[in-house]
Amino acid sequence: MALVRKGIKQLIAEAEVRSKGISIEESKRRLGDPDTVFVDLRDVRELERDGMIPGAFHAPRGMLEFWVDPESPYYKPVFAEGKTFILYCQADWRGTLAAATLADMGVQNVLHMEGGFGEWKKAGGPTAEPPHKKSA
């Protein structure tokens, strides 16, 4: 007997209905736009291994809702700037789920990058090293 009643495929399919995707090509055109923030949802180990989109803001998927909510002690002001957010992960599963969750929270102008970082790299999108923490 399965422990799960709703699998990841169904969750992603439902999230696709509640969120809006953006193509890799359109995402590439928006890189450098001061009104757009790329949000990298991947784990820090993925960033260290593969790099990230230049200038992206790293918001680990597990913390995103806490960083977006102004009532949270973990709130990050970048999410109050009224910009368009393009969320991405490696293959767009986490990006789709995260975009739907932020839409459910009432966040405006949230997109998920279709195909994720893997497709970004295949399409020749620029990559950069992740910012490193400053040592104390």
> In the chain, which residues have pLDDT < 70?
1-2, 133-136
pLDDT at 132: 72
Question: In this predicted model, what pLDDT tens digit does every residue of 30-58 receive, in sequence order?
Answer: 999 999 999 999 999 999 999 999 999 99
Residue 66: HSE in the Cβ half-sphere, 13 Å Cα cutoff: 7
| Residue partners of 107: CB distance under 8 A and separation at least 6 | 68, 79, 85
Per 3-state DSSP, the chain is made up of helix, strand and coil in percentages (nearest 5) of 40, 15, 45
Percent of the chain surpassing pLDDT 90: 88
In a domain, 128, yes or no: no
**Reported pTM:** 0.92
Instruction: Look at residue 14 in the predicted model and tell me its pLDDT.
Output: 96
What residues make up the domain containing 53? Answer: 20-122
CATH of the domain at 34: 3.40.250.10
- 């909510």: which residue's tokens? 69
pLDDT of residue 135: 47
The total domain count for the chain is 1
pLDDT value of residue 6: 92
C-alpha distance from residue 48 to each of 58, 127, 130 (Å): 12, 12, 7
